[in-house]
Structure 1
Amino acid sequence: MSNVYRLIGIFAASIVLGFAFNLFLLPHEVLTGGVTGLAMVFGLLTPINAGIWIFVLNIPIFILGWLGLGKTFIANSVFSVVVTSISMLYIPVVQVTEDALLSSVFGGVIAGAAIGFIIRFYGSTGGFDVIGLILTKKRDVPLGALIFALNSIVVFISGFVFAWDLALYTMASIYITGLVIDRIHTRHIKLSLVVVTSREDELKEALLKNLYRGITVMEGEGAYSKAKLQVLYTVISRYELAIIKPIIKEVDPNAFVSINETMEVLGNFRRG
């Protein structure tokens, strides 16, 4: 059932992405980044719809992602790209507003939200999203900022092909898209988790069963109660917090839990 919900989420977000392209960005020749942006350029310069170009240009990148991110992720990504491409064929390219700046801002926000949710549902929109996700598995960097850096080349292409004022609008749209993605995709954020519990064995077993993390166990004592307690310490990703909180509440509702954002993690830490 979780797979069904995931596909429904990817389907809905991909259609929203198609609306962002055809109602806000393409009417003003404001592009999005990376491969999708290049597809928009080809779509504006040729009679072939940009949706078809998106699918064609993503084929080699999907092959790379298959090797680096797994079959399920690429299958979800192909599904997302197909849905976006088909939706762009049927959604009319019309101007919601005549103001190119407003279209850049709102198009960037909507596109960023859609892409962020597609990534959270374990998929991508192809292109530099795939490359960015492969790189973030190696280093803890914000995905949106990385995609913005990779996509900057589209701004220069847009400037040479069209006009530099449109290139600046494109830069603004890509930047806003990256910011919104980072508000939704938070896997790069690491949290230090400290749990003080009297049910150490049960809680430790439950956490190890559901996480791919090491846990450090320390002896503790209540300063007032003098009760012997165990302190569990580990570092998790922001996504894993949603898994851990219900487990702790179920195993030991009286556990004391402290969660803090961690600036950097060195040593043997699984980043994938």
Structure 2
Amino acid sequence: MGRIFLVIFGSLLVAFAYNFFLIPHHILSSGLSGIAIMLGIITPLNTGLLNLLLNLPLLILGILKLGKKFIFLTILSVVTLSISLYIVPIKQISTEPLLSSLFGGVLTGVGAGLIFRAAGSSGGFDIVAMLLAKKRDFPLGTLITLMNAVVVIISGFVFTWDAALYTLVAIYATGKVIDTVHTKHIKLTLMIITNKGDELKQILLENLYRGITVMDGEGAYSGEKRKVLMTVITRYELTDVKNLISKTDPNAFVNITVTTEVIGSFHRS
């Protein structure tokens, strides 16, 4: 339920960002949603309906290539965003386009970042970026920003080049905030000292697609024998791992450090 709430709340934030900050100034967002905004401005069709129609092909791709839980949350996000764009009225909060592009981009980034943290996406190019992120270790927001250059160019030709520059500002802000909120590309090294080494190792192997190194340890003062488990995870997985450790051995000592670089086999999930 927590992930479903994050997806719905994040999608609502994105919808408000679009209808209150971006659309009134003809500023586009990233990806297919940006194209939906453009078509919604220049045609009689509603942006929410267009967003749903444009995302259908990539949702099918997501069903074929990504996990069931991921694509369920993505469908939930796309539907929630599309309905919200249809229901929420378009209202100009600020008369200043630059402020609107910044606030709209930041709010969109927060919403999209929450959706990513829930292991979903807001559809569109996000699905493509998630597929690429599985194979290459780049920040997710940067990948999405690079793929949205075409949206900026389209905005310049369809509207004005001032609008294109504001669109670029919004997309840049969105990408940076996504990287801050999502942080999946950040790696962490966990050193776990526990009395329940075999049990904890089995629990982690069953629930975490990561390699684990097990070492023998001994308390310097007590002389007590313990197991030392070491693994590298993404920042995104930390909450789940901490919950697994707490349930298995509440007395385990866990040292968590930020990892600068990983060389060798590391599954990017």
TM-score by length of structure 2 reads 0.92
Q: Which position in structure 1 is the counterpart of 2:191?
A: 194
Task: Please say if 1:245 is aligned against 2:235.
Answer: no
Task: Please say if 1:229 is aligned against 2:226.
Answer: yes
Deviates more, 1:181-190 or 1:100-109: 181-190
- Tell me how far apart the structure 2 counterparts of residues 222 and 59 of structure 1 sit (CA, whole Å): 57
Measure how far apart 1:96 and its partner are: 0.3
Measure how far apart 1:269 and its partner are: 2.4
Deviates more, 1:115-124 or 1:161-170: 115-124
Measure how far apart 1:38 and its partner are: 1.0
Deviates more, 1:243-252 or 1:206-215: 243-252
Aligned CA RMSD, in angstroms, stands at 1.9
Q: Which position in structure 2 is the counterpart of 1:268?
A: 265
Which of 59, 62, 85 is the aligned partner of 1:62? 59
Q: Which position in structure 2 is the counterpart of 1:215?
A: 212
Q: Which position in structure 2 is the counterpart of 1:44?
A: 41
- Tell me how far apart the structure 2 counterparts of residues 215 and 89 of structure 1 sit (CA, whole Å): 48
Deviates more, 1:103-112 or 1:216-225: 216-225
- Tell me how far apart the structure 2 counterparts of residues 62 and 31 of structure 1 sit (CA, whole Å): 21
- Tell me how far apart the structure 2 counterparts of residues 63 and 38 of structure 1 sit (CA, whole Å): 19
Q: Which position in structure 1 is the counterpart of 2:173?
A: 176
Partner SS for 1:192: strand
Deviations 1:186-231 (A, max 9, x none): 2222111112234322332332233222211122334444443332
Q: Which position in structure 1 is the counterpart of 2:77?
A: 80
Task: Please say if 1:115 is aligned against 2:112.
Answer: yes
Distance 1:71 1:251, change over 3 A: closer
Partner SS for 1:196: strand
Is there any run of 5+ residues in structure 2 with no aligned partner, and where?
none
Which of 10, 13, 26 is the aligned partner of 1:13? 10
Q: Which position in structure 2 is the counterpart of 1:135?
A: 132
Sequence identity percentage: 53
Deviations 1:112-171 (A, max 9, x none): 111111222232221111100111111121111111111121111111111111111111
User: What code does the residue aligned with 1:56 have?
Assistant: L
TM-score by length of structure 1 reads 0.91
Counting matched residue pairs gives 269
- Tell me how far apart the structure 2 counterparts of residues 252 and 8 of structure 1 sit (CA, whole Å): 29
Distance 1:256 1:39, change over 3 A: same
